Amino acid sequence: MTHSTKLGQAYVYTTIPAQDLVRARQFYAEKLGLEPLEESAEGLTYELAEGSQFLLFPSTGKASGDHTQIAFRTADIGATVGELRSRGVEFEDYDLPSLRTVEGIAERSGLRAAWFRDSEGNLLGVAQMD
């Protein structure tokens, strides 16, 4: 992992709040097929492709769910959405002038994306870029 004083060269990871860390861990394992790399007092650290990481941390605050808090890039969004649906993940549907989903997937400007909520109300996304 490279550290730098220049933000443009900094390693980035995201943090996601969980009111119930046990419930969240179960959701991420059963629904998303993810197991934590590390468990500590700070929470659960997950590592994915190319060293990317995110932390699920215990929080008394409630997730707003108004914006995407983490997005997973995939090479085949149709297959990814299908796999997640088979595990019980429910995708958001949007029918707005600027965003419309068909079978849970929105398309715009070379991007296909879909969104779902985790057990804590956090809005997560999967995206395929052309």
Domains in the chain (CATH in brackets) are: 12-129 (3.10.180.10)
* Separation CA 29–CA 49 (nearest Å): 17
Tens of pLDDT, residue by residue over 47-96, are: 999 889 999 999 998 877 789 999 999 999 999 999 999 999 999 999 99
pLDDT of residue 9: 79
* Separation CA 70–CA 63 (nearest Å): 13
pTM: 0.89
